[in-house]
Chains A and B, each alone.
Chain A
C-alpha cells in the first residue's frame, strides 16, 4: 500500500507469525487475521477516511530517558515505518514502556523524569522548543495497560472526552464519536446504551472504548503500552484484530511482554534489554533468525 513499506515487509497483511513455534499459540487466531479488514471497513462507512489516510513515520535518534539520575533508556535509535505495527519486546524493566512514553512526551509528566535526544515525527523534532507538547499528544495517541475509562463519564462522553478536553469543534461530536466507536469495533455493542457509564462495560470492551477515545481526536500515531495484559484471551484477540485494521490509518507502536502477541500483530519487532536496543527487524526474522544471541535466548524463552 505504501511505497516505503516494501523493504522490510514480508507478506503484506498475512501474519508473519504463521511459522513460529505454533504449539504455544492460539491456533484459531491465525486464519482469522486476514479476514477482519474487509469486514470492518464494510461495517464502517462513516470512517471512510481510514482507508486512504497515511500515518507518519516516527524516528528516534539517540534517545535517552532518565528518572532522576537513573538512565532507563540508553541512547536508542529506532524507526517506526508509516502504517506499520512495530512491537517492542523485552523483559520487564528493560525500558520499553519508558521509551514509548517518550514518543508522545508523557515521560516528562513524572516528577524528576527527563529525556534527551530526538523524536522525529516525519521530519519535525517533537522535543524542539517550538513544539507544543499538547499538540504532540493530540497527534500521537496512547492506550494504556489497564483499561481506564473516565469513571464519571458515560460511554459517549468518554469517547467525546478527548475532543472536548482539547476544545475541538462541538458540531460534529456525534459523528466523530460514532466513527471512533466503529473504528474501535465497539459500535455494534454499545450503540443502544451510549449514555450508560463506561465503567459498566467488560474489560475488553473498556479497552476498546479507550482505543475509541484515542481515535476520536484523530491521531496519526497510536502507542499501545501492553494493551492486552489485563484482558482475557478472547478480548485480546479482538484487540489484535483491531490493530490489524487500524494500521491502515495510523502508525502503531505496541509494547508487549507477550511474544506470541508480537508475532501475531507486528510487522516489525524490536528487542530491548536494559535500556538498549538489541535488535530490530521484520518480525519473522526476529523470531526465527535473529542476529544477536541475546535476542535468540529471549525469544526462545531462555530468560525474561
Chain B
C-alpha cells in the first residue's frame, strides 16, 4: 500500500469528506435525540403514576364507593369501586353495540362494497368520524337522548356515546384485517359452491379473528380512558349501580372531578384511580398484542 504514488489520492477518493461525515453524524444524533425526547414523557408519566398512585392503593380503596364527604381533613373519602364497576359496565355495553356494527360495516366495505362509490363515501365518513372530538360525541347523545327525551343522565347513554367513539376505530381496523384475508380463500370457498354469507362467516371471519379481536381490544382500551363523552351523558355519582338506566360513575370522570378538588386526599385518590385506569388499559393493550401475534395472516 505504500509503493504507489497514487495511494493518498485513492484514499481521498474513497473517503467521505469531513463535512459530509459531520453532517451525517449530527443528523443521526438529532434523530436519536428526538426519539429519546419522545420517550421522556412516557417515563415521567409512568413514574409519577406509580409514585403517587401506589400511595392511594389499598384494599379499602378498591372496595368502597366514594363517600362524597371531602370537607374535613380526616374524613373517609372512600375509594373507586363504583367508578371501576361503572367503567366496566358502560364499556361492556358500548362494546356490545359497537363491535357487531363496526365489524358489520367493515364486512360490507370489504365483501360487498368493493369499488362502489357508496363504499368510498362510507369509508371516507368513517375515516372522518375517527377525528371527531370525543366531547362532540357526548353532546350528540346529550341532544338526542337527554334534550330529546327530556330525561337525565344514565349509564346507557354514556355507553352509547362510547360506542359512537369506538365504532369508527373498530371499522377501520377490521377493514384492514379483512383486506389481509387472501382473496384466494374466498374464491376457493365460492368455487366450492358456498354462498357468500357462509364464506364470510365460515371462512373470512374465522381466518381474520385474531386481528379483529386485536382491533376490538384497542378500541375498548381507548373507550375506557375517555372522559369527555361521559361528562354529560352518564354523569357522575358516588354509588355503585348495576342499573344502566341510572347515573353511573366511571374512572375517568371520577379522576376528572377529583383533580379539581382542593383536598389533598381527594387528589391522591385521583392518582390512585389514574394508576388503576392505566393498568387496566395497558392490560388490554398487552392482550391485544398477544392476540395479534397469534394471527394467521401476514
Kindly list chain A residues whose C-beta atoms are within 8 Å of the C-beta of B114.
111
A-B contact pairs, 30 of them (CB 8 A): A104-B191, A106-B190, A106-B191, A109-B187, A111-B114, A111-B115, A134-B194, A135-B193, A136-B193, A137-B190, A137-B191, A137-B192, A138-B192, A141-B192, A142-B188, A144-B184, A144-B188, A144-B191, A145-B184, A146-B184, A148-B182, A148-B188, A150-B185, A152-B206, A164-B202, A165-B189, A165-B192, A214-B192, A217-B192, A217-B193
Kindly list chain B residues whose C-beta atoms are within 8 Å of the C-beta of A137.
190-193
- Number of CB contacts from chain A to chain B under 8 A: 78
Kindly list chain B residues whose C-beta atoms are within 8 Å of the C-beta of A104.
191
CB distance from B194 to the nearest CB of A (A): 4
B194 contacts A162, CB within 8 Å? yes
The CA-CA distance from A165 to B204 in the complex, in Å, is 13
Q: Name B256-298 residues within 8 Å CB distance of A.
A: 296
Interface readout for A142-182 with B: 1 if CB under 8 Å, 0 if not? 10111010111000000001101110000000000000000
Kindly list chain B residues whose C-beta atoms are within 8 Å of the C-beta of A139.
193
B184 contacts A148, CB within 8 Å? yes
Pick from B198, B206, B296: contact of A165, CB below 8 A.
B198
Q: Is A7 an interface residue (CB 8 A)?
A: no
Q: Is B116 an interface residue (CB 8 A)?
A: yes
The CA-CA distance from A214 to B115 in the complex, in Å, is 29
The CA-CA distance from A104 to B186 in the complex, in Å, is 15
Q: Is B174 an interface residue (CB 8 A)?
A: no
The CA-CA distance from A263 to B230 in the complex, in Å, is 72
The CA-CA distance from A166 to B196 in the complex, in Å, is 11
Pick from A111, A135, A138: contact of B116, CB below 8 A.
A111
Interface readout for B109-139 with A: 1 if CB under 8 Å, 0 if not? 0000011100000000000000000000000
Kindly list chain B residues whose C-beta atoms are within 8 Å of the C-beta of A150.
185, 188-189, 203, 207
Kindly list chain A residues whose C-beta atoms are within 8 Å of the C-beta of B187.
106, 109, 142, 144
The CA-CA distance from A145 to B199 in the complex, in Å, is 20
CB distance from B232 to the nearest CB of A (A): 43
Q: Is B12 an interface residue (CB 8 A)?
A: no
Spell out A's residues near B (CB within 8 Å).
104, 106, 109, 111-112, 134-139, 141-142, 144-146, 148, 150-152, 161-162, 164-166, 210, 213-214, 217
Kindly list chain B residues whose C-beta atoms are within 8 Å of the C-beta of A152.
203, 206-207, 209, 296
Kindly list chain A residues whose C-beta atoms are within 8 Å of the C-beta of B296.
151-152
| Of B116, B184, B188, most A-chain CB atoms within 10 Å | B188
A150-B185, A152-B209 given; 11 more Cβ-contact pairs under 8 Å: A106-B187, A106-B191, A111-B115, A141-B192, A144-B184, A145-B184, A151-B207, A165-B195, A166-B193, A213-B188, A217-B192
Q: Name B195-253 residues within 8 Å CB distance of A.
A: 195, 198-199, 202-203, 206-207, 209
Kindly list chain A residues whose C-beta atoms are within 8 Å of the C-beta of B192.
137-138, 141, 161-162, 165-166, 213-214, 217
The CA-CA distance from A250 to B203 in the complex, in Å, is 27
CB distance from A75 to the nearest CB of B (A): 25
CB distance from A268 to the nearest CB of B (A): 23
Pick from B116, B184, B193: contact of A134, CB below 8 A.
B193
| Chain B residue at minimum C-beta to C-beta distance from A137 | B193
CB distance from B297 to the nearest CB of A (A): 8
Instruction: Knowing A111-B116, A148-B182, A150-B203 are in contact, say whether A134-B188 is a contact too (CB < 8 A).
Output: no
CB distance from B193 to the nearest CB of A (A): 3
| Chain A residue at minimum C-beta to C-beta distance from B182 | A148
Kindly list chain A residues whose C-beta atoms are within 8 Å of the C-beta of B186.
109
The CA-CA distance from A146 to B183 in the complex, in Å, is 11
| Chain A residue at minimum C-beta to C-beta distance from B181 | A151
CB distance from B107 to the nearest CB of A (A): 15
Pick from A136, A138, A210: contact of B188, CB below 8 A.
A210
The CA-CA distance from A134 to B190 in the complex, in Å, is 8
B191 contacts A165, CB within 8 Å? no
Kindly list chain A residues whose C-beta atoms are within 8 Å of the C-beta of B203.
150, 152, 161, 165
B190 contacts A109, CB within 8 Å? yes
The CA-CA distance from A144 to B188 in the complex, in Å, is 8
Instruction: Knowing A144-B184, A146-B184, A164-B202 are in contact, say whether A214-B207 is a contact too (CB < 8 A).
Output: no
Kindly list chain B residues whose C-beta atoms are within 8 Å of the C-beta of A145.
184
CB distance from B90 to the nearest CB of A (A): 33
The CA-CA distance from A125 to B195 in the complex, in Å, is 21
Kindly list chain B residues whose C-beta atoms are within 8 Å of the C-beta of A217.
192-193
Kindly list chain B residues whose C-beta atoms are within 8 Å of the C-beta of A111.
114-116
Kindly list chain A residues whose C-beta atoms are within 8 Å of the C-beta of B199.
165
| Chain B residue at minimum C-beta to C-beta distance from A165 | B194
